[in-house]
Structure 1
Amino acid sequence: MPTAFFQGTPALSSPFAAASAPGAQAGQYRDVPRVLAIAGSDPSGGAGIQADLKSIAAHGGYGMAAITALTAQNTRGVRGVHVPPAAFLTQQLDAVSDDISIDAVKIGMLGDAAVIEAVRAWLEKVRPGVVVLDPVMVATSGDRLLQESAEAALRGLLPLADLITPNLAELAMLVGGEVQETWEGALEQGHRLSAATGATVLVKGGHLAGDQCPDALVDAGGRLNQDVVVVPGQRVATRNSHGTGCSLSAAMATVQARLGDWEATLREVKPWLAGALEASETLEVGTGNGPVHHFHHVPAVRGEGSFAAQLWADARKDLADIYALDFIRGLVSGSLPEKDFAYYLAQDAIYLNGYSRVLARTSALAPTEAEQLFWARSAAQCLEVESELHRSWLSTRTVEPQLGPVTKSYVDHLAAASASGSYAVLAAAVLPCFWLYAEVGATLHAEFLAAGEPAGHPYAEWLRTYADEDFAAATRRAVAIVDGAGRSASAADRDAMVTAFRQSCRLEVDFFDAPRLHS
């Protein structure tokens, strides 16, 4: 079981770990935020209220909905829009807020000026702690979703938002400019919109050309640590982006109600959305611009019938064996002898060197550019962590550098999977190093927190890395990739994948137990 090779902040791996802070209606940020989505309905389920509620649930929130418009649409486009009377929307909003404390509001499609006015009047009366406004004016398909006569009313609503999340076409419309084709131009328009409205603006790079897909929080009012906070990202090669903007804004509202920090919120939501795009093809919904997979990261994706479910069932016994090891119990309690921990780290450094080579081979065999980039980055991270282990920990201690028998067995097993020439088999073989580690890490970190993070714990920093969100996000992508490979593989290849996965799981157990066997 090698060391985590991504550094970041804990998030989705523990979606209910919230920090208290002032500002929400109930007086503090909540573990399970109560989030109201105000938006139109999409009968195909990929966008609008349906996407909002999925996103809210995916981030641990309790979702509510007030419907502003009914649409006739599917993955190929919008066929019709019906806007009910604004007075009925007011009834919906009042019915909810008269009974339920609302921690956050996400506003999407509003339809016409009367609907916008109803929402504005309600916001001024209720004043929720978090308001995210997605100015739905133009769909990704190019369909116009807001009447031109309502644009002025929408601009009047923007100052009531804490965060505005336009796509590039909407951003240009709101500032009265041309749609930008460069990231710098988009950031400049975002700054103008923030200055005009007093809100933070999320500038999204999803519609720009190229492999990069950055997002940025832009704030002209000094509410962030800096005027522009850029979170980089890679474009996911998929045609399935239906409802991406709705999903992002609803997720931002939900996580902000938990964390109270826009930068931390974006850094949690962005990897989740990338994973949702990566796993979108597994849904097989529609013949056009399909929806993202909102629940790609939760155990439900291991549900009956999926290939990942079969693998996860196979891994459960190995997980139980890991949790029962003296090494694991001693690591959590702090009683683990340092010599055992040192031996584990030394073997880990050796393993990561070999594992990085196998990941590079996985990248070379991958059928898509997105998967090639994923495995290549993982390989690079392995080498970085191996170097860091030597610099920060191993260099200060006398540690046996020889290749141990368990480490050799594991590396030899992965080398054999690599020599098979099968991308699917190799991906299945490397998956337990992601999956089991992430599961064990989240459990150990939760136990460490439950114990109150005891002072003087010799492995405190180590345990904190177990909840790394970047690694959790990478694990979700690895699971989705292997699940997709397994579903499309032949029966013989699936059997070979299962065999390779099982052997890696057993070797993960042995890797944790190696210090005992060595002594």
Structure 2
Amino acid sequence: MSDLLRPPSVPRVLSIAGSDPSGGAGIQADLKSIAANGGYGMAVVTALTAQNTRGVRAVHVPPTVFLREQLDAVSDDIEIDAVKIGMLANAEVIRTVLAWLTVTRPPVVVVDPVMVATSGDRLLDPDAEVALRALFAQAHLITPNLIELGVLTDRDIVDWSDAIAAAVALSDETGAAVLVKGGHLPGDESPDALVEPGGVVHEFGGARIATVNTHGTGCSLSSALATRRAHGDDWSQAVAVSRAWVRESLRGSETLNVGGGQGPISHFAGLWRRGGIVSSPIPEEVVADWWARIAEIRSDIDALPFIGGLADGTLSREPFLFYLGQDALYLREYARVLAQAGRLAPTSEEQAFWAQSAHGAIVGELELHASWLSPQTGVGTWTFAAEPAPATTAYLDHLRSTAFGGDYTELIAAILPCFWLYTDLGKRLHAGEFGAYARNPQHPYASWLATYADPAFEEANRRAIGYVANAAAGVGPDARARMFRAFELSSRHERAFFDAPMERCASR
């Protein structure tokens, strides 16, 4: 059989084994193991057991005709990248699986022989043991425990050197690699060794992990090995990675608190710790969620007297010029914040976008402000002559603290409302949502209102939303929550900023 593999992106791994209704061993453990190691798990049931963490109470073996139906149903439809074989209860079951293997020839076959109970009792009769040896001819890797290895080689295994010698003998006999496991040896160490055909031995050391939660460890390890090999690892790499995963799962098993006997390992302990259990949204979901969560703020802005007066042309010149003076102060600092986003950006595309936005804030928008505030001199000292209002100072303090706190994702979330709220408001003003007069060329603030619906600004807004949403979808829940807090606080500052001109006029 060829040992060359072309690994798929997600290996399709079939477990052929008995069931364990308590979930710790058999096909239930195999499916967890396959998933935890990046594969798509499938299962064909060879036997139904009544068992828990304390022991096996009964075994039911379905007819082998049905077993073959299961095997054919899977292989007729799905390309199988690896097979792990566990509990095969009798000779007829073994021969059925062997006949199917001979036809389908999976590229990876791992056999975890279930031959001897924990008590030491033999589980297979002599006819079944003979059939199992024939099955080994189809295997690429065999993973017996020490008791099973002794039975298979008719040797007494007293120490680690005996185990290695027995594994070499079994590999020579079968032509398959053999993983010999030292977990049943006494002492503080729990070594394993991979013996490849030709006698090459790779040893793997490790301190014994103090836990009683070892139910299903052999099942889990063998299915992990099949999955890692289907990923493209060689056998030595597969053993190293799978052992590390099993040891991590053993260490995490204490938190499961399953059963009163020999508990299971925690197959996903490492994944839960590293990735959490909260699903990540896609960018489109982030956009919809964030926009909905600031609905009240957006509604408040729509209802502000400043926005109403700006739309219907009744806004007096004084609050409008006050607003422009504050906005000029804001834009000068906002451009620096945008430039900082460009410095922190992880890609050249984002660096360029934020830098161009900073340039646009200075060259484009401030020139428009200057046409109202300092028309004789253009952008200069008089453009920034206003005394900063409390709302302006608070908004800029928030942006500056976020900008120079060093977190790019929070910074662009804080920047976004200035793009998004302005674009949304401009589109709706231009569409006549606040009254048809806002679209009239004779409107006193027509030149200003036209800037709200600028297609270039709308495109910049689309890109800004995309960068923020992609970043939020790519971080964990805690970081995403921090991003939203920065975004929401900026939105609240936007509301206060729009309200400030009329508040000032009312206070005078």
Q: Into which bin does the TM-score normalised by the smaller protein fall?
A: 0.5 to 0.7
Letter in 2 for 1:153: A
Post-superposition shift, 1:220? 3.3
Quote the Cα distance in structure 2 between the aligned partners of 1:71 and 1:326. Answer: 61
* Partner SS, residue 298 of structure 1: helix
Letter in 1 for 2:272: P
Alignment of 1:213-292 (within 5 A): 213-221=190-198, 227-292=200-265
Deviations 1:245-293 (A, max 9, x none): 0000000000000024001111111111001111111100011111000
Quote the Cα distance in structure 1 between the aligned partners of 2:120 and 2:4. Answer: 37
Letter in 2 for 1:286: G
Post-superposition shift, 1:71? 0.9
Aligned to 2:148: 170
Letter in 1 for 2:176: A
Deviations 1:434-492 (A, max 9, x none): xxxxxxxxxxxxxxxxxxxxxxxxxxxxxxxxxxxxxxxxxxxxxxxxxxxxxxxxxxx
Evaluate the alpha carbon distance shift between residue 287 and residue 219 of structure 1 in structure 2; reply closer, same or farther with a 3 A threshold.
same
Relative contact order, higher structure (CA 8 A, sep 6+): 1
Q: 1:106 and 2:79 equivalent?
A: no
Letter in 2 for 1:257: A
Letter in 2 for 1:218: V
Evaluate the alpha carbon distance shift between residue 141 and residue 327 of structure 1 in structure 2; reply closer, same or farther with a 3 A threshold.
farther
Letter in 1 for 2:14: L
Evaluate the alpha carbon distance shift between residue 327 and residue 166 of structure 1 in structure 2; reply closer, same or farther with a 3 A threshold.
farther
Evaluate the alpha carbon distance shift between residue 325 and residue 149 of structure 1 in structure 2; reply closer, same or farther with a 3 A threshold.
farther
Aligned to 1:501: none
Letter in 2 for 1:34: R
Alignment of 1:52-71 (within 5 A): 52-71=30-49
Evaluate the alpha carbon distance shift between residue 41 and residue 96 of structure 1 in structure 2; reply closer, same or farther with a 3 A threshold.
same
Letter in 2 for 1:173: V
Alignment of 1:408-423 (within 5 A): none
Evaluate the alpha carbon distance shift between residue 245 and residue 22 of structure 1 in structure 2; reply closer, same or farther with a 3 A threshold.
closer
Quote the Cα distance in structure 1 between the aligned partners of 2:131 and 2:277. Answer: 48
* Partner SS, residue 42 of structure 2: strand
Aligned to 1:208: 185
Post-superposition shift, 1:149? 3.5
Aligned to 1:131: 109
Query: Residue 34 of structure 1 contacts residue 61 of structure 1 at CA under 8 Å; is this kept in 2?
Result: yes
Deviations 1:68-90 (A, max 9, x none): 01111111111111111111111
Quote the Cα distance in structure 2 between the aligned partners of 1:240 and 1:289. Answer: 5
Aligned to 1:491: none
Quote the Cα distance in structure 2 between the aligned partners of 1:172 and 1:243. Answer: 20
Alignment of 1:326-345 (within 5 A): 329=346
Quote the Cα distance in structure 1 between the aligned partners of 2:203 and 2:180. Answer: 9
Evaluate the alpha carbon distance shift between residue 304 and residue 36 of structure 1 in structure 2; reply closer, same or farther with a 3 A threshold.
closer
Query: Residue 111 of structure 1 contacts residue 147 of structure 1 at CA under 8 Å; is this kept in 2?
Result: no
Quote the Cα distance in structure 1 between the aligned partners of 2:213 and 2:92. Answer: 33
Evaluate the alpha carbon distance shift between residue 326 and residue 112 of structure 1 in structure 2; reply closer, same or farther with a 3 A threshold.
farther
Quote the Cα distance in structure 2 between the aligned partners of 1:189 and 1:148. Answer: 20
Alignment of 1:35-434 (within 5 A): 35-140=13-118, 142=120, 144-178=122-156, 180-221=157-198, 227-299=200-272, 329=346
**Percent identity among equivalent residues?**
59
Quote the Cα distance in structure 2 between the aligned partners of 1:117 and 1:208. Answer: 33
Evaluate the alpha carbon distance shift between residue 58 and residue 143 of structure 1 in structure 2; reply closer, same or farther with a 3 A threshold.
farther
Post-superposition shift, 1:219? 1.9
Quote the Cα distance in structure 2 between the aligned partners of 1:275 and 1:325. Answer: 40
Quote the Cα distance in structure 1 between the aligned partners of 2:274 and 2:257. Answer: 14
Post-superposition shift, 1:29? 0.8
Query: Residue 47 of structure 1 contacts residue 291 of structure 1 at CA under 8 Å; is this kept in 2?
Result: yes
Tell me, which stretches of 5 or more residues in structure 1 are unaligned?
Answer: 1-20, 306-323, 334-519
Query: Residue 29 of structure 1 contacts residue 258 of structure 1 at CA under 8 Å; is this kept in 2?
Result: yes
Aligned to 1:479: none
Post-superposition shift, 1:148? 4.3
Deviations 1:308-347 (A, max 9, x none): xxxxxxxxxxxxxxxx89689599x9xxxxxxxxxxxxxx
Query: Residue 109 of structure 1 contacts residue 146 of structure 1 at CA under 8 Å; is this kept in 2?
Result: no
Post-superposition shift, 1:159? 1.4
Quote the Cα distance in structure 2 between the aligned partners of 1:122 and 1:80. Answer: 27
* Partner SS, residue 297 of structure 1: helix
Post-superposition shift, 1:237? 0.3
Post-superposition shift, 1:218? 0.4
Tell me, which stretches of 5 or more residues in structure 2 are unaligned?
Answer: 279-340, 351-508
RMSD of aligned residue pairs (Cα, Å): 2.9
Letter in 2 for 1:256: R
Evaluate the alpha carbon distance shift between residue 300 and residue 84 of structure 1 in structure 2; reply closer, same or farther with a 3 A threshold.
farther
Post-superposition shift, 1:133? 0.3
Quote the Cα distance in structure 2 between the aligned partners of 1:146 and 1:293. Answer: 29
Query: Residue 22 of structure 1 contacts residue 29 of structure 1 at CA under 8 Å; is this kept in 2?
Result: no
Post-superposition shift, 1:212? 1.0
Quote the Cα distance in structure 2 between the aligned partners of 1:325 and 1:233. Answer: 47
Post-superposition shift, 1:144? 4.6
Quote the Cα distance in structure 2 between the aligned partners of 1:210 and 1:326. Answer: 56
Quote the Cα distance in structure 2 between the aligned partners of 1:230 and 1:210. Answer: 17
TM-score (norm. length: structure 2): 0.54
Query: Residue 158 of structure 1 contacts residue 197 of structure 1 at CA under 8 Å; is this kept in 2?
Result: yes
Deviations 1:109-137 (A, max 9, x none): 00000000001111110000000000111
Post-superposition shift, 1:302? 6.8
* Partner SS, residue 172 of structure 1: helix
Post-superposition shift, 1:301? 7.8
Letter in 2 for 1:280: S
Query: Residue 165 of structure 1 contacts residue 202 of structure 1 at CA under 8 Å; is this kept in 2?
Result: yes
Post-superposition shift, 1:156? 1.2
Query: Residue 206 of structure 1 contacts residue 213 of structure 1 at CA under 8 Å; is this kept in 2?
Result: yes
Deviations 1:366-402 (A, max 9, x none): xxxxxxxxxxxxxxxxxxxxxxxxxxxxxxxxxxxxx
**Aligned pairs, how many?**
291
Point out the structure with max Rg over C-alpha: 2
Letter in 1 for 2:17: A
Query: Residue 181 of structure 1 contacts residue 209 of structure 1 at CA under 8 Å; is this kept in 2?
Result: no
Evaluate the alpha carbon distance shift between residue 143 and residue 296 of structure 1 in structure 2; reply closer, same or farther with a 3 A threshold.
farther
